[in-house]
A and B are shown apart, each in its own frame.
Chain A
Amino acid sequence: MKLAECFKQGKFVITCEVGPPKGIEIDKLIDELEPLRGKVDAFNVTDLQSSVMRVGSLATCRLLKDRDLEPIMQMTCRDRNRLGLQSDVLSAAVLGIENLLCLTGDHPKLGDHPQAMPVFDLDSVQLLSAVKSLMNGKDMAGNDLEGRPPQFTLGAVVNPGADPLEPQIMKMEKKIEVGAEFFQTQAVYEVDKFSDFMGKVKRLNVPVMAGIVFLKSPAMAKFMNASVAGIHVPDDIINELASVPKEQRVKKSLEISARLIKQLKDLCQGIHIMSLGWERHIAAVLEMARL
């Protein structure tokens, strides 16, 4: 089923993140997604995630499409100006991509080419607005597109753990105003806090998919607490993961994720799994969460 159709039917939508490799051997990645066929509604393909140079989102999306898997092309504002971005939006439409997720993107300084020029000609709100304009047959400069305009289901992101939260919600509203139709969130570990956030954005009437990041180790949780914006893994979860011997960590980690999904399920309209290389475990987690 197309992603747009899933939202239309009010289905609890499941997406997961796919990070293209740094190198051209991509078959392994795509093969790992095969067990998720029919279980995951769509696959976000990241756009140079963490500002690390690698295979692009557009090509990978097309490879998924060729295998009849539904791709969501992520687009960031980090390394293309408005000419490059708009052109890639048209290219995506030509290659049959129907879902776009627009975001600001990490700063190049965080990645493997910290010397690169940060572009950010547009921000995420302006990028969404540019795509919407193309969908209406005009580019950002007001020039007409020839023939049939492209059509996309447009997604955006929000960070429910941001402090202060209000500017995030204001920006979320702007994203909706210019065309965002669904939201995926940063990783959620605190169900109560997420519930408060959902209470605040309920009036916006837009599908929100809670982010799930598999905790691979207590050290990873502590690292995220110290360095990743808007993520807080509570101590009881870290202790729970640390309480089992190393060889049982994977199992415990998946249990924690499945439990979170069950707790979040009734609060939102979908989940977005960022498995960070643990694609092979997604099916098991979904099964444990009875999705």
Chain B
Amino acid sequence: MLYTENKPIDEILQSLGKEKNIFLLGCNGCAEVCQTGGEEALSAMKAELEKAGKKITSTCLVDFLCNKMLVTTRLSRQRDKLQQSDSILVLTCGIGVQAVSKVVDKVVHPAANTVSLGGLQGLWPSDERCQACGDCALDYTGGICPITFCAKSLLNGPCGGAKNGKCEVDNEKDCGWQLIYERLQKVGRCDILKKVRTARDHGKMLPSSELRKTSFYDIENPA
């Protein structure tokens, strides 16, 4: 199971910026167990955002947001609502956010930080990977993870080593930053790349002592 924690609401509001119409998309898998996705988390987030003056165009719950087929099927029924939305706030792990970003041409914002991949995997169907860095950067990179897609896990843009869009480490692998740039161009958000990203806090990768005390954690570590 992938453990996630809610991002602070201030950080979420900051990432939504001036966007007014928000589509809420929650995961009913691991995130539901962690109370970052699921029905209750969606309602709580809806209330918080409405309090902050946002309009919620729709709330949608999908069993496993990491499954792109499932996401595509569910969201196709909400095409109108999606069109009316400025962006999608995704209440799930880093893989789920990336999967949504891959199938919808809308700005996606993560609502949670993934802090541990746990002992059991959620569905993990494709290229999207999460290192559980504990400080999800997907908001800034168009829903494509710079930590797992870039061979050097760079946060401030391409290293300059890519040739014909392929990584210097493996010429059959796409340059993560080229994908990020193309994605941001597509959703009209290249401006966010101008912001200097400060160095990562690697301490956030360690599961906190609070998390290690939870029953979820115990389930996967039978005595």
Partners in one complex: yes
Which of A106, A122, A166 meets B161, CB within 8 Å?
Answer: A106
Whether B189 sits at the interface, judged by CB under 8 Å, is no
Whether B56 sits at the interface, judged by CB under 8 Å, is no
Whether B158 sits at the interface, judged by CB under 8 Å, is yes
Whether B214 sits at the interface, judged by CB under 8 Å, is no
Within 8 A of A (CB), among B151-167: 151-164
B157: chain A residues within 8 A (beta carbon):
125, 167-168, 170-171, 174
With A110-B169, A167-B181, A170-B157 in contact, do A118 and B152 touch (Cβ < 8 Å)? yes
In the assembled complex, the CB of A225 is this many whole angstroms from the nearest CB of chain B, namely 10
Q: Please state if B159 and A164 are interface contacts (CB–CB under 8 Å).
A: no
Interface flags, B170-199, vs A, CB<8A=1, else 0: 000000011001000000001001101111
Whether A217 sits at the interface, judged by CB under 8 Å, is no
Q: Please state if B199 and A168 are interface contacts (CB–CB under 8 Å).
A: no
B168: chain A residues within 8 A (beta carbon):
106-107, 110, 229
Q: Could you tell me how many residues of chain B have their Cβ less than 8 Å away from some Cβ of chain A?
A: 28
Within 8 A of B (CB), among A145-163: 157-159, 162-163
Which chain B residue shows the least CB distance to A140? B199
Q: Can you sample 10 A-B contacts with CB below 8 Å?
A: A104-B152, A106-B168, A110-B169, A120-B152, A126-B198, A129-B198, A162-B158, A163-B164, A227-B163, A229-B162
- Using a CB–CB cutoff of 8 Å, the interface residues on chain A facing chain B are 77, 82, 104, 106-107, 109-110, 118, 120-126, 129-130, 140, 157-159, 162-164, 166-168, 170-171, 173-174, 177-178, 186, 227-230
Q: Which 6 A-B pairs have the closest CB atoms?
A: A171-B157, A125-B156, A159-B160, A104-B159, A120-B152, A123-B154
- Using a CB–CB cutoff of 8 Å, the interface residues on chain B facing chain A are 151-164, 168-169, 177-178, 181, 190, 193-194, 196-200, 202
